[in-house]
Structure 1
Amino acid sequence: MSLAPAIQEFPTELQMPMLRFAEAVEQDLRAQFGVRREDFNLLRSDVQEVVSGQKRLEVRVDRLENALVELAAAQIRTEQRVDALAAAQERTERRLEELAEAQKRTEQRMDALAAAQERTERRLEELAEAQKRTEYELQSLVATVEKIAEDGQETRKQLGGLSMTVGYQLDDLAYRGLPALLERDFGAHIQGRLTRGYMKDATGKAIEVNIVGTAQRNGEQVTILGEGKAQLSKNDVDRFVRRRLLPLREGFAAVLPVLVTYMISEPDVEEYAKEQEIALYYSYDFER
């Protein structure tokens, strides 16, 4: 039986060497031993087994190569994954460093805020103490003002009493001195005496008048209406006209208005009173 079909199953590079080897073996066996057909068939069977083993070996080698390729691809993927994990780890470490810096800045800010809070609390305590002092001083000031107000009220009472006393003294001088002056200057002869009293206006309202009396002038009855003022101003003249003269003048046929004073507060008061047709006398006029 020919070995050619079996040898063709070997790899190309082994076929010729195997063919020559088989021929050489066959010739050698025939020459030396006269190999029988049965032995040669056994040899051929062994060669076929070798070829089968070679095929199985090639299959296993192919499988091994495929496994190595897959292992290499897996290794590449593993390395890529490791690189990705390394990059992620690097980013994580950078992020942790950033967070650590941010935490440090936050702690510094918290320390600054705590210090500011402490300063604020100290300032509030100082303000509270200042407020207490202010309240105490204010209470003292209020007490002082109240005392001054009480003293002022007492002073005003005293001044009011003094003013009334001075006014009454001036009126008393006028009661005694005016009759002669009015008769001299206006020909008005006082009937009875000058007094302080109440006169009714046209509506029947009673108005207090400091100097009041009646006189005869050229056979006509004249009503004397007057007021004393320690220091006379134009406002005092207007007030006398508004409160005394105008309301009472309508109730009498003839009125002779008179003002008496110790002094005037403005240089033109005399002229102003004269324009209102009011007689003006000073206290020293009564001593003549």
Structure 2
Amino acid sequence: MLAEVITDAYNSLVKTSDFNELKAIVAQLAQAQQRTEQRMEELAQAQQRTEQHMNMLAMRMDELAQEMKLFARGLTQVRADLGGLSRSVGYALENEAYRMLPAFLLRQHNLQVIDRLVRTEIAGEEINIFGKVRRNGQELLIVGETKLQLDERRSNRQEESETLAQLARKVQVVRQSHPGLEIVPLIITHFARPSFIRYAAEQGVIVVQSFEW
């Protein structure tokens, strides 16, 4: 009986081998925890670097936004300057036309200018070339539009149609303010493609190129 009690007590005791095995497991867990903590530290550092990078990126984006604003302002100014230059060149063409058209119209189209050609505004519509002419004793009106260039390689059919539509609108305004007078529509330009000249002629519009006078 005593022997059985001693045997049971012995079996209940943790064996040395089991204890050593437990120690090994604890050591492995400690190493795993250490690796986990190290990995967490690496992730924290990586996150910090990412946040720094994102902050730098945000600053750069702000800088780019400011640069884009400056660029947009500069582009607006360039467009304004180009628009002013275009208007200046357009006015120069008109001023040349006022001097040269009378002789040209008489020579090429039997149209004698009665009053000097002017730039004017009728019913809120700007008329680039306006004046009275006479042909075979009949008094008529000249209504002209200036375009620096009408080149198919730089303007499409739609733009050409818009030019003629703009002129037609001005002719209509003049016709309403001067009923009973025939109107001669014309376009003054430095250069126009032959196809546009033919197209305009089909609409009853005279195209005059500056080198012709």
Question: TM-score over 0.5 for the alignment?
Answer: yes
Query: Which structure is richer in relative contact order (CA contacts within 8 A, separation 6 or more)?
Result: 2
Q: Percent identity?
A: 26
CA shift, 1:81, in A, is 10
SS in 2 for 1:193: coil
Q: 2:207 aligns with which of 270, 280, 283?
A: 280
In the other structure, the counterpart of 1:51 is none
Q: How does 1:116-155 map to 2 (within 5 A)?
A: 116-155=39-78
Give yes or no for contact 1:199–1:248 (8 Å, CA) kept in 2. Answer: no
Contact 1:225 1:245 in 2 (8 A): no
Task: Give 2:189's match in structure 1, choosing from 261, 270, 273.
Answer: 261
SS for the counterpart of 2:141 is: strand
Mapped partners of 2:107, 2:134: distance in 1: 13
* Amino acid corresponding to residue 190 of structure 1 in structure 2: V
Deviates more, 1:166-175 or 1:271-280: 271-280
From the two aligned structures, give the one with the greater helix fraction.
1
Secondary structure, aligned partner of 2:204: coil
* TM-score under structure 1 length normalisation: 0.57
Query: 3-state SS of the aligned residue for 1:277?
Result: coil
Distance 1:245 1:177, change over 3 A: same
Letter in 2 for 1:263: F
Point out 4+ residue stretches in structure 1 off by more than 4 angstroms.
Answer: 80-85, 88-91, 93-100, 103-106
Contact 1:226 1:259 survives alignment (8 Å): yes
Match of 1:246 in 2: 169
Equivalent residue for 2:148, pick from 230, 238, 250:
230
Query: Deviations for 1:28-48, whole angstroms, at most 9, x for unmatched residues?
Result: xxxxxxxxxxxxxxxxxxxxx
Q: How many residues matched? A: 202
Structure 2, unmatched stretches of 5+, are none
1:100-111 aligned at under 5 Å gives the runs 101=25, 103-104=26-27, 106-111=29-34
What TM-score does the superposition give when structure 2 sets the normalisation length?
A: 0.73
Considering only CA atoms, is the larger Rg found in Structure 1 or Structure 2? 1
How far apart are residue 96 of structure 1 and its match?
Answer: 9.5
